[in-house]
Amino acid sequence: MPESARLEETELRLATRLVRGGVRRTGHQETSEGLFLTSGYVYASAEEAEAAFVTDGLRYVYSRFANPTVKIFEEKLRLVEGAEACRAVASGMAAVAAALLCQLRAGDRVVASRALFGSCWWIIAELLPRYGIATEFVAGENLDAWRAALAKPTKAVFVETPSNPTMTLVDLAELAKLTRAAGAALIVDNVFATPLLQRPLELGADIVVYSATKHIDGQGRCLGGAVLGSASFIDTVLGPYLRHTGPALSPFNAWTLLKGLETLDVRLERHNASALRLARFLEDHPRVRKVYYPFLDSHPQAALARRQMRAGGSIVSFEIKGGKAAAFRFLDALSLIDISNNLGDAKSLVTHPWTTTHARIAPEEKLAQGITEELVRLSVGLEDPEDLEADLGRALNA
Ligand SMILES: *Cc1c(COP(=O)(O)O)cnc(C)c1O
């Protein structure tokens, strides 16, 4: 019996699954997981090769299809998410594109929340329509808007919650009911919350996608992504798409990411506590107009946040009084926190979404999503929060 099956049966807690899940040792009985940097595999006989091509999943055949190190990462994440199946891919965007394209065809219709990561927005607004797929965006927080949009035949629903960068939430339990009634598949981009803070499948979602580049790696080293869902979807719908289009995760990246999972729980504890503390500090600062953080009482969906999430996460967005000039002055005055468009790193990172991550989105659309020239996104890292607070205070007063 595979070790991972035993683990699932014992119902070990998530932090334990992060450390122990998916581990398969080779004959050397190594403590840390083996790194199989190999593209191919050999056969003892022509008959063995023939058999491998008759029955899928019998053994490793080619690393575009499967690889032992990638498999450990997939098993670990699957056990933590509580999903039937998981496939890892080369980046978060490969995961989003694959989760959508593997099940859509011309004539289908997709409904998505408006506040999305820039490239997810591009796939839904620009790419899908090229292939004859109709798409519509709705305000994610508005259940009546979802009801209206889902009255028309719909194949898939795509949401990100909390959203980047304005931390708008989608009520996943309610949306899952509406999506199910419409006969559509609900896909949740769970990057900001991670599997530890939000459980989309338990709330009724069908598919969860991750950029493992963010908190799962957590130290800014490797790109990666994953798609999780039912065994039938992953094996029969997503599987052939991945096998033949090839967005395979490098075994080296898989190894780095599975080591990242081992420490995810302890890192998130610090991320969450520091982010909440800094969100409160920013809210009290006279130069700050507004703070967006799900676990602040001032968040318009604070009650939903507490119901749906275990903590607020590592991202705090805020508006600095004085327009783009004030936002730029603040960024340039920081001495510890780095300017970067990335997030979910051990190092605290700050971004001006208007001019970087969301630069290609039309100004009217940005404003409709609540993104202003005053808005700054802070990814709170693992430094001592006192030092971070001091850096923010100095830069705000500059
Ligand atoms: C970063 C991110 C992605 C894309 O992930 P990559 O690994 O950069 O391809 C998708 N969705 C969200 C919410 C993200 O933050």
What is the mean pLDDT of the segment spanning 110-129?
A: 94
Per-residue model confidence as pLDDT tens digits over 337-347: 999 999 999 99
- Which 3 state secondary structure label does DSSP give 84? coil
- What is the per-residue pLDDT for 11? 82
Contact 187 CB / ligand 1 (< 6 Å): no
Instruction: Decide if pLDDT at 56 tops 90.
Output: no
Q: Categorize the per-residue pLDDT at 58 as very low, low, confident or very high, splitting at 50, 70 and 90.
A: confident
Residue 249 is classified by DSSP as P
Strands 207-211 and 225-229 turn out to be antiparallel
- What is the per-residue pLDDT for 5? 53
- What is the per-residue pLDDT for 1? 38
Report whether CATH 3.40.50.970 matches the domain 263-397.
Answer: no
Instruction: Decide if pLDDT at 6 tops 70.
Output: no
Rounded to the nearest 5°, which phi and psi values hold at 128? Answer: -60, -45
The residue whose CA has the least distance to atom 6 of ligand 1 is 92
Q: Where along the chain do its domains lie?
A: 263-397
Atom of ligand 1 nearest to the CA of 224: 7
Query: pTM of the predicted model, to two decimals?
Result: 0.96
Distance, CA 223 to ligand 1 centroid (Å)? 9
What is the mean pLDDT of the segment spanning 141-161?
A: 98
Residue 173: its H or E element: helix 172-181
Contact 120 CB / ligand 1 (< 6 Å): yes
Alpha carbon distance 394, 57 (integer Å): 57
- What is the per-residue pLDDT for 187? 98
Residue 329 is classified by DSSP as H
Q: Categorize the per-residue pLDDT at 9 as very low, low, confident or very high, splitting at 50, 70 and 90.
A: low
Q: Say what the alpha-carbon torsion angle 162, 182, 136, 124 is, to the nearest 10 degrees.
A: 70
Contact 113 CB / ligand 1 (< 6 Å): no
The residues, ordered by sequence, that sit 6+ positions from 388 with a Cβ below 8 Å of its Cβ are: 274, 278, 336, 337, 348, 380, 381
Mean pLDDT of the chain: 95
The residue whose CA has the least distance to atom 7 of ligand 1 is 92
Distance, CA 211 to ligand 1 centroid (Å)? 5
Alpha carbon distance 387, 380 (integer Å): 12
Per-residue model confidence as pLDDT tens digits over 292-318: 999 999 999 999 999 999 999 999 999
Rounded to the nearest 5°, which phi and psi values hold at 8? Answer: -65, -40
Residue 293 Rama label (left phi>0; alpha psi -120 to 50; beta): beta
Q: Categorize the per-residue pLDDT at 254 as very low, low, confident or very high, splitting at 50, 70 and 90.
A: very high
